Amino acid sequence: MVLFWTLGGYVLSVRASESGNTSVGQHAADGVQRPDLPLYLYFADRTDRFLHAERRVTDRPRDAAAFGRAIVQALIAGPHGDLLPTLPAGTALRAFFIYGHRAVVDLSADLRAHFPGGGRTELLAVFSIVDSLVFNIGQVETVTLLVDGSEAVTLAGHIDLSRPFAADMLLVR
């Protein structure tokens, strides 16, 4: 037996075999299986002047907030290739939620305690988070950063965090 549901241009199918096993598949409405879309995470280059996209393919949670948490966790874990991390080791994601078109990211105070410093490094850290979220989650247009559950004036004395950020392609190469 096969059941079908149409959702957002996709047909979800549940197939029950005679043995009782079930499988869930996502297919385009035209019946063609679509692979997972790539995810682009933004990390610093070796000169620490620009952000570069690192392409990854992953299963995307249906919930935008769960996907956002996964993106921030991946940024904290760091790049897989030759790029440099933008967030210091020891940083933890305390909370993540989406309110309307704004993502709110709450990072641990360890971010400040282990931050290497420098205005450009701080700028890249902020926009690696902002660009990674805005460019991967269609619902997100701006990002607000909190540190240890509170609004922060700055991460390391250079970038004003009192307002939400929109993506900045000028930092991406």
The per-residue pLDDT for 140 is 98
> What does the pLDDT look like over 17-67, one tens digit per residue?
344 433 333 434 432 233 468 999 999 999 879 999 999 998 888 899 999
> What does the pLDDT look like over 91-124, one tens digit per residue?
999 999 999 999 999 999 999 888 887 889 999 9
pLDDT-based confidence at residue 7 (cuts at 50, 70, 90): very low
Cα distances (Å, whole numbers) of residue 71 to 60, 123, 129: 10, 18, 8
The per-residue pLDDT for 58 is 83
pLDDT-based confidence at residue 162 (cuts at 50, 70, 90): very high
